[in-house]
């Protein structure tokens, strides 16, 4: 546990001191500030526009950060050989990978938190009435990012190219949001094989709609009864992807 925390700590420091991280946070802050321009165009729906734009910007920022950071975490470290002086210490590869992943998530969550503070401030200034839904929407966004982070880590270990790792991760993000459409198509199609393929795809690909509470804001009568199960599912799926990453990593040679 001490090893995991030590590695997580230095990963967090490394990410936070990385200029790219500052650029991304700055970009995120600019996006939220720029949303005020859109708000002015929103007519009587200003608060809605501000809410939606801010939540989407926070999630988008986190997605971009986690993609780049996860790819760098494994790929760049192996290519730059900084990994040698860690793996030649009495540290198991599992501890190393988990610690790196935890540090990465901590860095991304920090950025999300900063942006959320700014966003919440703007909402308060515009007379928005906060409910539990707001932090819950952010929590589920963070859960989504956790899953995508573990997927990104797997792709970075699987592929030797940063571009392809990022591309695959983004593609997975799209697939995850398209799950419901895949299920619908599977129900509509008449042939058996595509039906089975669609059903398997629907269950195997993580359904990121489970974590999209920010899109369900005005849905009447929504209770969020699926949320606790979705949170557990998110953790299980992330652990599964990390297990896969660990399997790859434990077989890697340097």
Partner 1 sequence: MNYRLSWLYVVFAFSLAILFNVFVVSKRFSNPFPPAGVSPITEYAVFDLVGIVSGTRRLFSDIAWIQLLQYYGRADKPVSLEEEIETSWDVVHFFSGLRLWKDKHEDEEHCDEHGCSHAGHHHIEDNKDPAEYKRLLDHCRRIVALDPFFNYVYLYGAGALAWNLERTDEAIELLKHGISELDTYHANFGNDVNEPYWRINLYLSAILYRKSGEFLKMTGVLEKAVRLPECPALVKSILANIYQKDGKPAQSLKLWIDIYESGDTSYHSHAAEKIAELKNIMGL
Partner 2 sequence: MLAIETSNLTKVYRKKHLTRTALTRGVEGLNLSVEKGEIFGLLGLNGSGKTTTIKLALGLLRPTSGTVTVFGEPAGSTDALRKIGYLPEVPYFYRYLTASEILSLYARLSGLDNVSGRVERIIDMVGLSQKRNKQLAEFSKGMLQRIGIAQSLLHDPELLIYDEPVSGLDPLAMQEMRTLLLKLKSQGKTIFLSSHLISEVEKICDRVGILVKGGMVRTLPQSQWASAEGSLENIFISEVSASAETDRMKL
The interface with partner 1 within residues 52-91 (CB under 8 A) comprises 52-53, 56, 87
Own/partner contacts of 157-163, CB < 8 Å, gap of 24 or more, are 157/74, 157/75, 157/245, 157/248, 157/249, 157/252, 158/248, 160/75, 162/71, 162/72, 162/75, 162/76
Q: How many CB atoms lie within 10 A of CB 31?
A: 18
Both tokens of 66, joined, read 């986690």
Q: Which of residues 57, 75, 86, 151 is near partner 2 by CB under 8 A?
A: 86
Residue 85 binds to partner 2 (criterion: CB under 8 A):
yes
Q: Which of residues 41, 163, 192, 193 is near partner 1 by CB under 8 A?
A: 41
Residue 13 binds to partner 2 (criterion: CB under 8 A):
yes
Cα separation, 15 vs 7, whole angstroms = 12
CB of 8 to partner 2, least distance (A): 11
Residue 92 binds to partner 2 (criterion: CB under 8 A):
yes
Cα separation, 168 vs 162, whole angstroms = 10
The interface with partner 1 within residues 129-168 (CB under 8 A) comprises none
- Residue 210 binds which one of partner 1, partner 2, none, with CB within 5 to 8 A depending on kind? partner 1
The footprint of partner 2 (CB under 8 A) covers: 2-3, 6-7, 9-10, 13-14, 17-18, 80-82, 84-92, 253-254
């Amino acid at each position: 546990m001490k090893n995991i925390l030590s590695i997580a700590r230095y990963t967090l420091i490394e990410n936070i001191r990385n200029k790219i991280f500052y650029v991304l946070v700055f970009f995120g802050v600019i996006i939220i500030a720029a949303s005020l321009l859109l708000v002015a165009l929103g007519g009587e729906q200003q608060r809605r526009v501000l809410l939606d734009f801010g939540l989407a910007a926070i999630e988008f920022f986190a997605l971009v950060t986690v993609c780049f950071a996860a790819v760098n975490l494994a790929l760049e470290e192996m290519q730059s050989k900084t990994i040698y002086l860690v793996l030649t210490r009495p540290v198991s590869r599992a501890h190393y990978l988990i610690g790196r992943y935890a540090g990465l998530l901590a860095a991304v969550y920090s950025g999300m938190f900063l942006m959320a503070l700014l966003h919440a401030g703007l909402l308060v200034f515009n007379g928005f009435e906060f409910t539990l839904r707001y932090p819950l929407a952010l929590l589920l966004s963070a859960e989504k990012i956790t899953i995508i982070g573990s997927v990104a880590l797997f792709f970075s270990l699987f592929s030797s190219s940063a571009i392809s790792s990022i591309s695959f991760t983004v593609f997975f993000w799209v697939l995850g949001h398209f799950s419901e459409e895949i299920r619908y198509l599977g129900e509509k199609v008449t042939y058996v094989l595509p039906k089975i393929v669609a059903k398997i795809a629907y269950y195997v690909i993580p359904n990121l709609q489970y974590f999209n509470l920010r899109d369900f804001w005005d849905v009447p009568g929504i209770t969020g009864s699926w949320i606790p199960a979705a949170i557990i599912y998110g953790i299980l799926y992330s652990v599964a992807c990390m297990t896969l990453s660990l399997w790859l990593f434990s077989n890697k040679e340097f």
